Amino acid sequence: MKYISIIAMAIAMCGAGRGGYACTGITLKSTDNSLVVARTMDWSREELNNMYVIVPRGRTTQSVLPDGRSGGVEFTTRYGFAGLAVEQPEFVIDGINEAGLGAALFYFPGYGKYVEYNPDYNDKTLADFQVVSWILSQFSTIDQVQAAIQDVRIVNVDTRTTTVHWRIVESSGRQVVLEIVDGVPHFYENEIGVLTNAPGFPWMVTNLNNYVNLHPGTAGPTNIRNLHMAAFGSGSGLHGLPGDMTPPSRFVRAAFLQSGAIPQDTGYQTVLQAFHILNNFDVPVGAQFAVGTAPNNMPSATQWTVATDMANGTIYYHTMYSRAIRSIDLSQIDFETVPYQAHPLDMRHAETITAAPYAGK
């Protein structure tokens, strides 16, 4: 397996810290019970090698070790899957398998801690950036993942970097967050369906209590003595909703925007709704750096956004270069015969603009 030094920076693409990363995940359900999980993928320091991959049954993969060599845990694909990856096809960030299990990686700086890498256990060592591929290729339920996690030693793909955590979802609607703290894996039931970065997931849920006063709609009117007070406009029930880009604020904002979403009739309609909600989390590159210090001039720090219809096994995505939504329908893939493949998310790095039709000159 080819090892690339850029991953030391790319691994830091979905969290909070010295500017550059702010991934946000939400969950929606349609009236026909289709489950949609969606998220942004943010990294503002440089354009990543973004791709989608299709992995057939029977493909054998060996985890990369922290020194860059192959030689970690070996696993053969039981369930074909598709997903979106960065830098290398093995580094799947978000995907779903043919059994209806989904998994995704989010940055988790400063609060997680894996076991120390020990070459004596290479045959059980699994790089954190390959956990999503391992989950999707091996399992059909969350319970199976929970049982198997004790058999592997998850370590940093690069020992200079910090940790990540994971969202694991069943099409039934069950969702958990996996966080490794002091070398111990913890699974948290994620009934709210939101995930960002640090601090840990239980703290994020507790922090929502600080916003118990917020509600959809309009606040007031009310009177103070003889003074009549009314809102300046609609939506004032959410006055005080945090708008900054820190992970706790994005968690709160995502939770309230998601909770106020009108249930749609189908999974496809819910996918479109998810993209509109996540538009609120697009990050301009210059917003995460001091004025004049942004390291590049990409269209957006939000390099891609993905929404997966779990019930219908379809991945939808758009990118910073093209807002046109593209799809990968697993029902159209024969995972017994399809070749292993990886393709760029964008064939051209330019927005497609079509002139509106009009009469006359």
Q: What does the pLDDT look like over 68-120, one tens digit per residue? A: 778 899 999 999 999 999 999 999 999 999 999 999 999 999 899 999 999 99
pLDDT > 60? residue 207 = yes
| Predicted pLDDT at 288 | 77
Question: What contacts 94, CB < 8 A, 6 or more positions away?
Answer: 39, 41, 83, 84, 102, 103, 104, 105, 132, 306, 308
Q: Computed over its alpha carbons, how large is the radius of gyration of the chain?
A: 21
| Predicted pLDDT at 157 | 84
For the entire predicted model, the pTM comes to 0.92
| Predicted pLDDT at 354 | 86
Spell out a b/e string for 36-74, using b for 16 or more CB atoms within 10 Å of the CB, else e.
Answer: bbbbbbbbbbeebbbbbbbbbbeeebbbbbbeeeebbbe
pLDDT > 90? residue 286 = no
Model pLDDT for residues 296-324, shown as the tens digit of each residue: 888 888 999 999 999 999 999 999 999 99
Which residues are the active-site residues? Answer: 23
- CA 167 to CA 98: how far, in whole Å? 17
Of the candidates 248, 195, 200, the one whose C-alpha atom is nearest the C-alpha of residue 37 is 195
Q: How far is CA 166 from CA 37, 94, 103, 282, in A?
A: 13, 10, 7, 21
| Predicted pLDDT at 7 | 52
Alpha helix segments (H runs only) across the chain = 7-10, 131-138, 142-148, 201-207, 247-259, 267-278
- CA 95 to CA 307: how far, in whole Å? 10
Are 216 and 237 in contact, with CB atoms under 8 Å apart?
yes
| Predicted pLDDT at 5 | 46
pLDDT > 70? residue 21 = no
Question: In which band, very low, low, confident or very high, does the pLDDT at 9 lie, cut at 50, 70 and 90?
Answer: very low
How many residues belong to the chain?
361
| Predicted pLDDT at 301 | 86
The pLDDT mean for the chain works out to 91
Of the candidates 253, 275, 304, 348, the one whose C-alpha atom is nearest the C-alpha of residue 28 is 275
pLDDT > 90? residue 251 = yes
| Predicted pLDDT at 284 | 86
Q: How far is CA 31 from CA 150, 267, 311, 350, in A?
A: 37, 9, 12, 36
| Cis peptide bond upstream of 199, omega within 30 | yes
% the chain with pLDDT above 70: 93
